[in-house]
Amino acid sequence: MDSAAASARFEQLFRAYYGSVFSYALRRAPSSAADDAVAETFLIAWKRLESIPRQELPWLLGVTRRVLANQRRRDATQERVTLLCAAEPVADEIRDATLDPELDIAFSQLDEREQELLKLVAWDGLLIAVVVFFGGGIYATFAYWTLGLVLHAAASPFRGTRSYRQARHLLAYAAAPVALSFFVVWPVRLAVYGEDVFRSGGSDRGAGNWAFVLLELAFLAWALALLVLGLRLARSNASSSSAGIS
Give the whole-angstrom CA distance, residue 58 versus residue 61.
5
192 and 114 in a common domain: no
Q: Residue 223 belongs to what domain range?
A: 124-245
Of the three residues 78, 107, 122, the one that is the final residue of a domain is 122
128 and 200 in a common domain: yes
149 and 67 in a common domain: no
Give the whole-angstrom CA distance, residue 209 versus residue 196.
11
Question: Which tens digit of pLDDT belongs to each residue from 4-45?
Answer: 888 888 899 999 999 999 999 998 888 888 999 999 999 999
236 and 132 in a common domain: yes
The model carries a pTM of 0.41
Question: Which tens digit of pLDDT belongs to each residue from 43-57?
Answer: 999 998 888 888 899
157 and 192 in a common domain: yes
Question: Which tens digit of pLDDT belongs to each residue from 222-238?
Answer: 988 988 888 888 777 76
Go through 162-191 and write b for each residue having 16 or more CB atoms within 10 A of its CB, e for each that does not. beeebbbbbbbebbebeeebeeebeeebee
155 within 8 A of 135, measured Cβ to Cβ:
no
How high is the pLDDT of residue 60? 93
Indicate the pLDDT class of residue 66, thresholds 50, 70 and 90: very high
110 and 50 in a common domain: no
Say if residue 105's pLDDT is above 80. no
Give the whole-angstrom CA distance, residue 70 versus residue 104.
42
Q: Where does the chain have alpha helices with state H?
A: 3-26, 31-47, 56-87, 89-98, 101-108, 112-123, 125-155, 164-174, 176-193, 207-245
Question: How many domains would you assign to the chain?
Answer: 3
195 within 8 A of 240, measured Cβ to Cβ:
no
Give the whole-angstrom CA distance, residue 50 versus residue 18.
19
97 within 8 A of 109, measured Cβ to Cβ:
no
Say if residue 126's pLDDT is above 60. no
For a pLDDT cut of 90, what percent of the chain falls above it? 17
Lowest mean pLDDT across 4-18, 108-122, 207-221: 108-122
130 and 31 in a common domain: no
236 and 147 in a common domain: yes
